[in-house]
Structure 1
């Protein structure tokens, strides 16, 4: 495994998949907490229309919390977004449109 630090901007353009192998979207931007120097979330565009057809955001993307990220490599693997969307009614879901 290569432990060489990577630029945060290298995440932009990577495809995001759920841990079940379902395409979620593509990283368009990164949400940072500059005070704590941590990544808070990933702004996704090019969304999978089947996953987000019931979520009317009025926008072309979503922001997912970085805590959902399970692995980063050639692609980004996140927790199962379909299960998270079903619980989006609660304020703890973390999904920001």
Structure 2
């Protein structure tokens, strides 16, 4: 599989949608594994509550593991439809993820 030549800086401010077109939010940051030189997560703000579900009052947004990204163009499209997506996802100022202080992705592996 060929790598995507899109620079991670081009992801900033892109809208994020599920595979069935439900808006999730807007990319505010990209978390990158510097050793692997690969994106790990997208940090989203301006989150659509009806798509994501209830967020803690202190949440600044959500984080989406990059392996859930289906494609990047004018917008970012996730692999899952809204009803299939593992949302809400960990993220925000005070939210550590699953309640134990560690963020987790859909495989229950700690996200670092």
- Give structure 1 regions of 4+ aligned residues with deviation exceeding 4 angstroms: none
More strand by share: 1
Structure 2 residue runs of 5 or longer lacking an equivalent are: 91-97, 99-103
Question: Is the 8 Å Cα contact of residues 53 and 87 (structure 2) preserved in structure 1?
Answer: no
Structure 1 unaligned spans of 5+: none
Cα deviation digits, residues 2-22 of structure 1 (max 9, x gap): x99332111001000000100
Alignment of 1:1-97 (within 5 A): 5-56=5-56, 58-78=58-78, 79-83=80-84, 84-85=86-87, 92-93=105-106
Q: TM-score, normalised by structure 1?
A: 0.78
Aligned length: 92
More helix by share: 1
TM-score when normalising by structure 2: 0.68
